[in-house]
Amino acid sequence: MITRSDRFCTSGVLAPVLATVLGLATAFGVAATTPAAAQSFTYNRPATRPKPPPAAQTGQMLVQATEVNYDYNNSRVAAVGSVQMYYNGTSVEADKVIYDQKTKRLHAEGNVRMTDADGKITYANLLDLSDDYRDGFVDSLRVDTADATRMAATRAERTAGNYTVFQNGVYTACAACKEDPKKPPLWQVKGARVIHDQTEKMMYFEDARIEFFGVPLAYIPYFSTPDPTVKRKTGFLMPGFTQNTNTGFGVETPFYWAIAPDYDATISPRYTSKQGLLMQGEFRQRLMDGAYQIRAYGINQQDRSAFANTVGDKDWRGGVESKGQFALNDKWVWGWDAVALSDYNFLQDYRLSMYKDPYASFLNLQTEAVSQLYLTGVGKRSFFDARTIYYLSFSGNQSQVPVIHPVIDYNNVLNQNILGGEFSYKFNMTSLSRDQASFTPINSVVNPSTSVSAGLNPCLLQSADVALRTPQNCLMNGIPGTYTRVTGEAQWRRSYTDSFGQIFTPFAILRVDAIDASISNQPGVSNFLPTGDTTALRVMPTVGLEYRYPFINVQPWGTTTLEPIAQVIIRPNETYAGKLPNEDAQSMSFDASNLFSVNKFSGYDRVEGGGRANVGVQATTQFDRGGSVKVLFGQSYQLFGLNSFAVADTTNTGVDSGLATSRSDYVASLAYSPNRTYTVSTRARIDEATGNVSRFEAEGRASFDRWSVSLMYGNYAPQAELGYLTRREGLLGTGSIKLASNWVVTGGARWDLEANKINQYTVGAGYVDDCFVLGVNYVTSYNYVTNLSTPPVLSHSFMFQIGLRTIGNTTSASGTGGTY
């Protein structure tokens, strides 16, 4: 026997040991981790892993120990005392390692710790393996993987090279408690036997118990799951549960089919107690330049009378969805979204959400389904987008929803200066068609000669009552027929700063619109626009100058900048003002944010004309110790020509906006943020003639370490021309509090101050960390129906979600009212 206390390199006598060392990670490398003792999932903080010597990365095997003993008579080699072995990134550490050349087995004992090249760590008190690591056993095993899963067992036996049985196994994907490593993790699964089949990459649990914080909460005689190394595996997914008035209690058990590395399918049958079996299926495929997916639903309803008051009163209901996106190169992508349904209420009735968004279906947020084909390109200073769109409305008024043939947008900013300034241009083309005109009421009408009563929508009346479809009673939000507009706009601007610090910014804009409309002569339409074919060419040249003169005052406590701003715009009148369709510029709100906008209309169908001056003053204070205040106050003036905002169109856009008179309403804004914790902002529009507040909004936010709140107050004067006959006033509050490091409670409510009632509130609680998700939400809201004479229905919804990392997650939802 030869004894040596040294470090040495070898490729001879310990070479057989090498094969065994390299097999250890594979032999017991399960994708879960847990502590050494399986009876109680505790965790001993591992010692810092020694850094392998440089020679260990060159293909040589290094062994370091207090002493190495060679027993030539029995053909054994023993390394004793702080043994460390390195080879190709894999290390083994133990108190003692013995290799028997006759039996070809490796025996390691005492604080065994093996780390493979992938970062997976195996702990054991005793390890005994054959040198081809096809069979063997380990006492007091614990495995920690690189993906933060842990597996432990009192004993593990391996046979046939790929079949490992863990006695009294424990599995978790949660990290140990830093303050108390011996404390049980948030959740763990214990099994009398845990079998890991590496060929199938499956883990089988027998007599399993699911524990939370060491307390058993569920017993499952048998279940299986893919090991965490598996990203895709054929098998059943976690079930989900639903409950509502019309469909009853439902259980959904998805089955996932990993057909090939690049495509898969999921079949999700949902059995409902009142309506029978709802079948769902999804197919996905990823290609070299993109991916696509297809989903389908179908049900033969057992009780169609549950939907007697809706379009869902039929035997067969279902739908098909698809989406995809592909890259042409690094700048261009094209794709599609497609939806086809048996009826527009189908997704809402069964709480189905497009492309698996459970919260959208739970909160009933979907108002339409979009089918589109698009092409998008992005450059360094340019953007292009072209798409055709079909909106499937959930309101039931499909004939009033437009079909967008194409809408094309392109804009570009030149990389070089033109006349010392920046030159940009943009292009838009929109073409759409609609079967029937879309009307919205702006007041209540009583026609004594008919059965029409107050409160009904006069814009939806039929026969002789269509005479009530007038601009005094209705807005026409969409024309019947076909509408096409092509817009091109070029802009140049340049800034100068003189020696006094004054900033002058001249600008010039040329915009051209070519419009073609073919408007159907439906009842009431001619009261708003001439029917038949209409073509128009609208040219709007604009020149202007913006002036700013910032005054800066520096004090020991901070810096204040006072900046008068004046803008003069010269241009001709808006041609065809109010005489053309308005499909995309229907949103108009005058406030401090668009005071200095050259064109205050939001879209392309309207363009601001006439000479105008925008004047204001802006003050900003920045405090040295943090925090800031920003104030803006101003007014707009119509200098000459036709005031576009005083001209009513089919939607009355701009009317009663505060811009319709030669001197506009005053607009102001204030934002104050003393630090990162608090933020307060207000916005107001004040009537120029009376001094009354026409529009006021105030919002405050506070965010601390553990809680945050926000409160928004809104007060809006009546706008009869837009259909708001009474003042609107309300409060919207939200808040959240972090009860512990991972626990959060949230809530919100909307209070209609005019009606003096809370018309929506939400309450939720959730726990989230790297291994567990728990969520509970309760929501109330009013669902409005198409018939405006019918009051809105109060809907109550409850949703529960739980998820265990690497095991799965499930969702349960229930509700009453609304579409339930």
Mean pLDDT over 540-569 rounds to 95
Query: pLDDT tens across 691-703, in order?
Result: 999 999 999 999 9
Residue 230 φ/ψ, nearest 5 degrees: -90, 125
Record the tokens describing residue 757, joined without a space: 């009632």
Q: 619, 631, 738, 624: which is closest to 675 by C-alpha?
A: 624
The pLDDT score that the predictor gives to residue 72 is 81
The pLDDT score that the predictor gives to residue 540 is 97
The pLDDT score that the predictor gives to residue 367 is 65
Which residue carries 């994708």 as its tokens? 31
Confidence of residue 169 (pLDDT cuts 50, 70, 90): confident
Q: 152, 96, 149: which is closest to 127 by C-alpha?
A: 96
The pLDDT score that the predictor gives to residue 28 is 33
321, containing H or E segment: strand 316-327
Residue 88 has pLDDT above 80, yes or no: no
The pLDDT score that the predictor gives to residue 166 is 84
Query: pLDDT tens across 452-478, in order?
Result: 444 456 676 655 566 778 888 889 999
> According to the per-residue pLDDT averaged within each range, which of 120-129, 363-372, 526-535, 771-780 is highest?
526-535
Mean pLDDT over 543-547 rounds to 97
Query: pLDDT tens across 783-802, in order?
Result: 544 444 445 566 777 777 78
Bridge partners of residue 244, in order along the sequence:
248, 815
Distance CA 580, CA 594 (A): 24
The pLDDT score that the predictor gives to residue 457 is 62
The one-letter amino acid at 16: P
Confidence of residue 770 (pLDDT cuts 50, 70, 90): confident
- Cβ contacts of 391 within 8 Å, gap of 6 or more: 368, 369, 370, 371, 401, 402, 403
Mean pLDDT over 607-634 rounds to 94
Confidence of residue 187 (pLDDT cuts 50, 70, 90): confident
Contact 151, 37 (CB under 8 A): no
Distance CA 362, CA 797 (A): 7
First to last CA, the chain: 84
Query: pLDDT tens across 666-695, in order?
Result: 999 999 998 888 999 999 999 999 999 999
Query: pLDDT tens across 777-787, in order?
Result: 887 766 544 44
Distance CA 633, CA 255 (A): 61
The pLDDT score that the predictor gives to residue 292 is 96
Low-confidence winner among 86-90, 171-175, 322-326, 364-368 (lowest mean pLDDT): 364-368
Q: 189, 237, 196: which is closest to 214 by C-alpha?
A: 189
Q: What is the DSSP letter of 360?
A: H
| R_g (Cα) of the chain, nearest Å | 36
The pLDDT score that the predictor gives to residue 267 is 95
The pLDDT score that the predictor gives to residue 33 is 31
Q: How far is CA 764 from the centre of its chain?
A: 18
Mean pLDDT over 537-565 rounds to 95
Mean pLDDT over 423-441 rounds to 94
The pLDDT score that the predictor gives to residue 137 is 66
The pLDDT score that the predictor gives to residue 611 is 96
The larger pLDDT score, comparing residue 350 to residue 89, is at 350
Record the tokens describing residue 309, joined without a space: 């008051």
Confidence of residue 816 (pLDDT cuts 50, 70, 90): low
Q: 0.95 exceeded by the pTM?
A: no
Residue 24 has pLDDT above 50, yes or no: no
Q: 97, 160, 98, 167: which is closest to 133 by C-alpha?
A: 160
Low-confidence winner among 58-67, 231-240, 717-726, 750-759 (lowest mean pLDDT): 58-67
The one-letter amino acid at 169: G
Mean pLDDT over 204-228 rounds to 82
Mean pLDDT over 436-465 rounds to 61
The one-letter amino acid at 819: T
Low-confidence winner among 19-28, 263-272, 579-588, 606-615 (lowest mean pLDDT): 19-28
Contact 460, 409 (CB under 8 A): no
> According to the per-residue pLDDT averaged within each range, which of 13-27, 430-444, 525-539, 801-815 is highest?
525-539
- Cβ contacts of 782 within 8 Å, gap of 6 or more: 759, 760, 792, 793, 794, 795
Neighbours of 311 (CB within 10 A): 14
The larger pLDDT score, comparing residue 4 to residue 149, is at 149
Residue 199 φ/ψ, nearest 5 degrees: -70, -50
Work out the mean pLDDT of the chain and round it to a whole number. Answer: 82
Record the tokens describing residue 26, joined without a space: 């594979």
Confidence of residue 135 (pLDDT cuts 50, 70, 90): low
The pLDDT score that the predictor gives to residue 127 is 76
Low-confidence winner among 170-174, 179-183, 384-388, 530-534 (lowest mean pLDDT): 179-183
The pLDDT score that the predictor gives to residue 622 is 93
Confidence of residue 329 (pLDDT cuts 50, 70, 90): very high
- Torsion angle in degrees (nearest 10) through CA of 785, 791, 792, 795: -120
Confidence of residue 430 (pLDDT cuts 50, 70, 90): very high
Residue 41 has pLDDT above 90, yes or no: no
Q: Which of 382-414 are b and which e, b meaning 16 or more Cβ less than 10 Å from the residue's Cβ?
A: bebebbbbbbbebeeeeebbbebbbbbbbebee
